[in-house]
Amino acid sequence: MYKSIIGIICIFFILNGCSSKKPKVIVLGMDGITFDIAEQWIEEGKLPNFKRIIDEGTSGRLISTIPFVSPAAWTSAVTGVNPGKHSIFSFVRGVTFEKGEGISHLNLSTDRKAKAIWQIIGESEKRSILINIPQTSPPEEINGVMFSGEPHADSDHPQGISENLTYPPGVKNRFPNYRVDPSGVEYDASEPKKFLSDRFDIARRREKVLFELMQREEWNLTWVVFTITDIIQHYYWKYMDSTHVLFDKEEAKEYGDAILRVYQMMDKTIGKTLKVMDENTTLIIMSDHGFGPIIRAVNTENFLREYLPNSIRKWIIAYDYVSPVFKVNTPPSGGRKQYDKVRLSLYKALKELKDPENNRKVNKDVFLSEEIYNGPWLSAGPDVVAYVDTVYRYIGYKADPNKGVLMQLDVNGFNAYHERDGVVIMFGKNIKKGAKLNLPSIMDVTPTILYLFGEELPLDLDGKIIKDGLEKEFLKNNPPVYGGYSVSYPTNRDAEGKLKSLGYL
Ligand SMILES: [Zn+2]
């Protein structure tokens, strides 16, 4: 009965310009995937669906934010602006010390200060399916369905996993088997098998929700982020890389193909997507940053202690425990002069920081915030940011004070970390065939999707339409339309809330 009614409606629409002609976009986010390893597997025929969409679509490396960490990068991807405009620079907004314990203030959906693409297209009645995009917790009231992404918290203190997972709230009851990424579950090098199979289980359940929602819901945009790619590369790189400092021949026999298996799972997800997408759909595969092996860790607290005198150090907060971002908190009485002095000392120390074992510089470059960010939220972010050489990784305030600045890797810790260049592959409706892109920015993804939808592009976006990847005819017939604004400006209340959260009020 239902089917025949739908049939009649469809015939009506075919006669009157069929509804199925509306443009649709699917973004399959694969956190941290990189051509550095995928290229060879594609050549060897191990990833046939990646190969197909690269051959028949448009692809290239995608430049991430600095630091190249998921919260800043994914938020730039979904907003089309730099962190100075969306206000999410890293995992946390700061660390306060309560009873000697460092407490992280996490970045949540409520901290994002620029419109996400689902808000922009929601204003013109377009519906979205959003699954596991970082920094979308607590879930937002949207025109569509949202499964929020990490961190799964309602407030900015990490207090375990929030029950408040979906919008509308009842959706989660339709998918009782969905699992979020467990927070605080540490990898145990003595049990890599268990960890690996658990992460595959989570990814499979996520994929199931993805295809069921695409089938059951009305939608224009579907955007999912798979995190298995990131977490397994962090811990299993050492098993596949015989030059890695933690490589072990015996373990390699068992787990050397773990990362390949994850990429192959993603390849199958692409294959399934190709089967369900219609001729009006554009598919985008993307990662938020690349990946590569690390050889040593940088103990951030020990760096500050050894490289800077106490008179300078006491005004610096290494405010994120996993990325090289620093806040200078000089008292107002010291004025601009004292702030500049502290900031410049930190800048120089980061430039000089070397690994004594090989005399290699730990940071490829160091930036003052205004050199890489712009926008009304600049002062909410770090004051100094390092662009780290990717064989090093910063770790934070809980590190052992006796272990020096450059530390050996922990066998249970990460053995690979993020690199700057992610991946973008576009395929399907209005996409050029066989084209290679010249280093687009992660901020270009949202403007490109808005353009594919025929939406107005807000005037304050930083990203551009990826024109090199679009068919000439489509570009010619559809001049972009600009209008409106995306970014919110701070109010006095924001400034007060910020100071309060950092313990100043
Ligand atoms: Zn990431």
Q: Quick one: average pLDDT of 446-468?
A: 98
**pLDDT one-digit tens code per residue, 58-68:** 999 999 999 99
Closest CA to 452 of 421, 422, 433, 427: 427
Assess contact for 466 and 444: CB atoms under 8 A: yes
Examine the pLDDT at 429 and tell me if it is beyond 90.
yes
Q: Where are the alpha helices (DSSP H) in 217-257?
A: 228-240, 249-255
Q: How far is the CA of 310 from the centre of ligand 1 (A)?
A: 34
Burial pattern 294-322, b for ≥16 Cβ within 10 A else e, equals bbbbbbbbbbbeebbeeebbebbbbbbbb
**pLDDT one-digit tens code per residue, 251-280:** 999 999 999 999 999 999 999 999 999 999
354-355 and 128-133: which strand pairing? unpaired
Q: Quick one: average pLDDT of 443-447?
A: 98
Assess contact for 423 and 286: CB atoms under 8 A: yes
Query: Which is more confidently placed, 142 or 499?
Result: 142
Question: Where would I find the beta strands (DSSP E) of 212-370?
Answer: 221-226, 281-286, 290-293, 296-299, 316-317, 325-328, 354-355, 360-361, 363-368
Dist. CA 20–CA 27, nearest whole Å: 19
Q: How far is the CA of 173 from the centre of ligand 1 (A)?
A: 28
Q: How far is the CA of 29 from the centre of ligand 1 (A)?
A: 10
Q: Where are the alpha helices (DSSP H) in 2-116?
A: 2-15, 35-43, 48-55, 70-79, 83-86
Residue 159: the pLDDT is: 60
Q: Please tell me the class of the 296-408 domain.
A: alpha beta
Q: Quick one: average pLDDT of 447-455?
A: 98
How many CA atoms lie within 13 Å of 444's alpha carbon, on the beta-carbon side? 25
Residue 391: the pLDDT is: 92
2-294+418-477 folds as Alkaline Phosphatase, subunit A (3.40.720)
Closest CA to 240 of 260, 224, 265: 260
Given its phi and psi angles, is residue 479 left (phi above 0), alpha (psi -120 to 50 degrees) or beta?
Answer: beta
Examine the pLDDT at 502 and tell me if it is beyond 70.
no
Tell me how many degrees the CA angle 97-321-197 measures, rounded to the nearest 5: 120
Tell me 190's DSSP state.
Answer: T
DSSP string, 453-498: TTPPBPTT------GGGB-HHHHHH----B----BPPP-HHHHHHH
- Helix, strand, coil: what percent of the chain each, to 5? 40, 20, 40
Examine the pLDDT at 103 and tell me if it is beyond 90.
no
Instruction: Please give the share of the chain, as a percent, with pLDDT higher than 90.
Output: 77
Residue 472: the pLDDT is: 97
Q: How far is the CA of 30 from the centre of ligand 1 (A)?
A: 8
For residue 395, give the H/E element and its range: strand 392-395
Given its phi and psi angles, is residue 504 left (phi above 0), alpha (psi -120 to 50 degrees) or beta?
Answer: alpha
Closest CA to 233 of 10, 32, 494, 4: 32
Q: How far is the CA of 69 from the centre of ligand 1 (A)?
A: 5
Q: How far is the CA of 42 from the centre of ligand 1 (A)?
A: 22
Q: How far is the CA of 289 from the centre of ligand 1 (A)?
A: 6
**Lowest pLDDT segment from 118-127, 227-236, 379-388:** 379-388
Q: How far is the CA of 230 from the centre of ligand 1 (A)?
A: 6
Dist. CA 375–CA 458, nearest whole Å: 15
Q: How far is the CA of 217 from the centre of ligand 1 (A)?
A: 28
Q: How far is the CA of 431 from the centre of ligand 1 (A)?
A: 26
**pLDDT one-digit tens code per residue, 139-195:** 999 999 999 999 888 776 666 677 889 999 999 999 999 999 987 777 888 899 999
Q: Where are the domains of the chain?
A: 2-294+418-477, 296-408
Residue 160: the pLDDT is: 66
DSSP string, 110-169: GG--B--HHHHHHTTT--EEEEEETT--SPP--SEEEEE-SS--SSSS--S--S--EEST
Tell me 321's DSSP state.
Answer: T
Q: Quick one: average pLDDT of 187-209?
A: 94
Instruction: Give me the chain's average pLDDT, please.
Output: 90
**Lowest pLDDT segment from 159-163, 303-307, 358-362:** 159-163
Instruction: Supply φ then ψ for residue 363, to 5 degrees.
Output: -110, 130
324 three-class SS: coil
Query: Which is more confidently placed, 63 or 495?
Result: 63
Q: Quick one: average pLDDT of 311-335?
A: 86
Tokens found for residue 64: 């991430």
Q: Quick one: average pLDDT of 297-307?
A: 91
Please list the residues that pair with 291 across neighbouring strands: 418
Q: How far is the CA of 309 from the centre of ligand 1 (A)?
A: 34
Query: C-alpha distances in angstroms, 95 versus 69, 70, 209, 503?
Result: 17, 18, 35, 9
Q: How far is the CA of 311 from the centre of ligand 1 (A)?
A: 36
